[in-house]
A and B are shown apart, each in its own frame.
Chain A
Amino acid sequence: MRKLALLLLVGSLAVVAAGCGSKKESASGTTTAASSCAKDDLNLVTTDQLTVGTDNPAFPPWFGGTPHKPWQVSDPNSGQGYESAVAYAVAKELGFAKDEVTWKHVPFNNSFAPGPKSFDFDINQISFSPSRAKVVDFSDSYYDVNQSVVVNKGTPIASASSVAALKPYELGAQLGTTSYQFIQDTIKPSKKPSVFPQNAGAVQALKNKQIDGLVLDLPTAFYVTAVQVPNSKVLGQFAAEPGGEHFGMVFEKGNSLVKCVNTALAKLRSDGTLKQLQQQWLAKATGAPTLK
C-alpha cells in the first residue's frame, strides 16, 4: 500500500516536471517585429496570399454582385460593395493583385475566438471597442458609423421625431453589433429590447410587427428598407458622437500586419479613394433625418 502510494506520487511529480520543462514561449499570437511592409515581409496565414474573412450571407451595401457558392446574397469576390471594395483597395496598396486575395467564410463568433486565426484580417461591420481591442487588434477606421432606426410605415412609431419619442417602443438589434448597447445607452426604452442572432430573424420580427423598430447602422438600414422589409422606411439616424463609433478590420492580437494595413488606409483616405468608395456604395445612406 505504501509502495503504491509512493510510486504514484513520484510518477505525478515526474509528469509535472516534464510539463514545466517543455513550457513553450508565451503564446497569444505571432508577435513578429517586422518593420517592413514589403509584400514579401508581411506576416500572412498563407504565403503570397491575402486571406480576408467575412460572414455569410454577405449583405449589401457592404458587398455586392451575384453570389457564387458558398456565398449567399452577395459575392465578396466581386469587388462590389463597400467592404469588398475597401478590402481590394487595401490589398492593392499592400501589393496584392486581385487574384491574390482569397475570401474566407468566418462566422462572426469565430473572428474573436482564442487561438490562431485562419484569416489575415476580417472585415464584417465590426465596431471598435476598447474591451474588444483587448482580445483582438483593430485597424483604424474605414467607416464612421451612424446608428439609425428602421420602422414599418404607417405604424405609431413612424411618426416619432426625436430620441425621446422612441422610448415607449419595442426595439430590436442584431447580435454582434453595437446597436443593442446604443439602445440601452442612448434611447433607454421602457420596453425590453430584443437581440437577434441573425439578420433574417431581425427582419422577420420587424415584418411581423413583433418589434416596432430595428436599430442598425445606416447603410445596412437602407438595404433593409430597400430590399428586405416592404413598406418600411429609415425613420432617422442618430447624431454621431465625436470620436464615435467606427468599423475596423479585425486582426489576431499582436499581428504586425495591422500597421501595414493602417498605412494603406491612411493613404486611401488622404488620396480620396475611401471617400469615393463611400460615395459609390453608400451614397443612399446619407439621406435620413437626424433624430435628437
Chain B
Amino acid sequence: MASEGDRRPDPEVARRSRLLEGLRLEGEGARGVAIALLSSFVFVAVVIVAVTQSAGWPEVKRAFFDWGDISNAFPDIARAFVLNVKIFLVCEVFILILALVIAVLRSLPGPVFFPLRALAILYADLARGVPTILVIALLGFGAPALQLQGVPTSRVFWAGVGLILIYSGYVAEVYRAGIESVHPSQEAAARSLGLSRFQALRRVILPQAIRRVIPPLLNDFIGLQKDTALVAVLGVIDAFNQAQIYSNSTFTYGAYLAAAALFVAITIPLARLTDWLIARDRRRQQAGSAFA
C-alpha cells in the first residue's frame, strides 16, 4: 500500500476501481435482460389469468383443450398425416424444378426472348393471384369430369398438380430474387472465360443464387406443407380432414390441435435443418475483402 503523501496512484486502488467499473457495466446489461425476462413472464402470467378467469373459459377449455379429446383423436390423425407428408415431398421436388425453369426463362435477356419472358411473368402472376383452393377444386373435380382418355382421376394426383402449379409461381419469384442478387460481375467473369450463357447460369449464377434464398425457399416449403391440407376439399382423408371428421362427430375442436401439433412438429426440424445448411455455407459466401 502507498504511504500517505505519496502522489502516485495506488495500483491496488486502481485495480479495485477497475474491477468495480467492470462489474457495474456488466450489471447494467444484466439488469436489462432481467427486466425483459421478468416483464415477459409477468405479462404472460397476466394473460393466462385473464383468460382462465373469464366467464366462458370452462366451455372453451372443454371444446379446445381437453386432453382426453386430443389424445383420442391423435392416432388416426397421425396416420392420416402420412399422406400430407407424401404429398409434400413429391410436390416439393417438382416445384423446385418447375420454378427454376420459370425463373430462368424470366431472366433471358434481349428482345428475341421476349415471348418467353412474357410467358414466365404471366405464369408467375396467375399462379400467385389465383386462390389455391380454387385451383385444386377445379383440377380435382374438373379434370376427371372431362372424361378424356388417359387423364387420371385420382384426386390426390390433381391436388398435387394444383399445388405444384401454384407454388411454382411463388418459388420462381424467390429464385428470381436470388438470381438478381448475384452481382453481374460474376456473369461477366464467367462469360469472359468463354462459358455460354447456359453454362454461366448453371455453374456460376444459380449455385450462388440458390444458396442466397434458402430462407425464403423454406418459407414456401412450410406454406406448402400446410397447404397439403387443401386436399380435404376433394374428400381425401388427410390429417386435416381427419381432424374435421373427428371434430364433427364429437362437437369438439381438440382434433384440430392435434393436427396442428403434427404440422408444427415437422416445421421445426425443417427450420433447424435450413439454419444448419446456411451456416455451413456461410463461409463460402462472397469472396470478401482483402484478407490482410
Contact = CB atoms under 8 A, between A and B. Distances in A.
Does A pair with B?
Answer: yes
Interface residues of A, number: 52
Contacts of B176: none
13 contacts: A4-B35, A8-B38, A19-B50, A19-B53, A114-B63, A115-B60, A132-B250, A134-B250, A175-B248, A197-B232, A197-B244, A201-B141, A210-B144
A1 B27 CA distance: 10
A25 to B, nearest CB: 8
Given A28-B58, A28-B59, A114-B60, A19 B49 contact: yes
Interface string A147-191: 000000000000000000000000010011010110000000000
B17 interface: no
Nearest to A197: B233
A227 interface: no
Interface in A1-41: 1, 4-5, 8-9, 11-12, 15-16, 19-20, 22-29
B30 to A, nearest CB: 9
A205 interface: yes
If over half of B's interface residues share one DSSP class (helix, strand or loop), that class is named, otherwise mixed; here it is helix
B98 interface: no
B42 A11 contact: yes
Rank and list the top 6 A-B pairs by shortest CB-CB distance, nearest first. Answer: A194-B235, A112-B251, A135-B251, A196-B235, A114-B63, A208-B144
B235 A201 contact: yes
Contacts of B252: 135
Interface in A194-211: 194-197, 201-202, 204-205, 207-211
Contacts of B233: 197, 201
Interface string A191-234: 01111110001101101111100000000000000000000000
Given A1-B34, A27-B55, A129-B249, A210 B63 contact: no
Given A8-B42, A132-B249, A115 B59 contact: yes
Please tell me the size bucket of the interface on B: 35 or more
B34 A178 contact: no
Contacts of B177: none
B225 interface: no
B153 A209 contact: yes
Contacts of B241: 175, 195, 197
Nearest to B60: A114
Contacts of A270: none
B153 A195 contact: no
Interface of A: 1, 4-5, 8-9, 11-12, 15-16, 19-20, 22-29, 108-109, 112-115, 129, 131-132, 134-136, 172, 175-176, 178, 180-181, 192-197, 201-202, 204-205, 207-211
Contacts of B55: 24-25, 27
A74 B62 CA distance: 36
Interface of B: 31, 34-35, 38-39, 42, 45-46, 49-50, 53-60, 62-64, 137, 141, 144-145, 153-155, 232-237, 241, 244-245, 248-252
> In the complex, which of the residues A15, A23, A114 has the most CB atoms of chain B within 10 Å of its own CB atom?
A114
Contact of A202 (B35, B235, B236): B235
Contacts of A205: 141, 155, 234-235
Contacts of A25: 55
Contact of B249 (A1, A11, A181): A181
A195 B56 contact: no
Contacts of B235: 172, 194-197, 201-202, 205, 211
B245 A27 contact: no
B141 A208 contact: yes
Nearest to A12: B42
Contacts of A108: 248
Contact of A210 (B31, B57, B153, B248): B153
A216 to B, nearest CB: 13
Given A5-B34, A204-B141, A205-B234, 10 more contacts: A15-B49, A27-B57, A28-B58, A114-B56, A115-B56, A134-B251, A135-B63, A194-B236, A208-B144, A210-B155
B171 to A, nearest CB: 28
Nearest to A11: B42
Given A8-B42, A194-B236, A211-B235, A27 B58 contact: yes
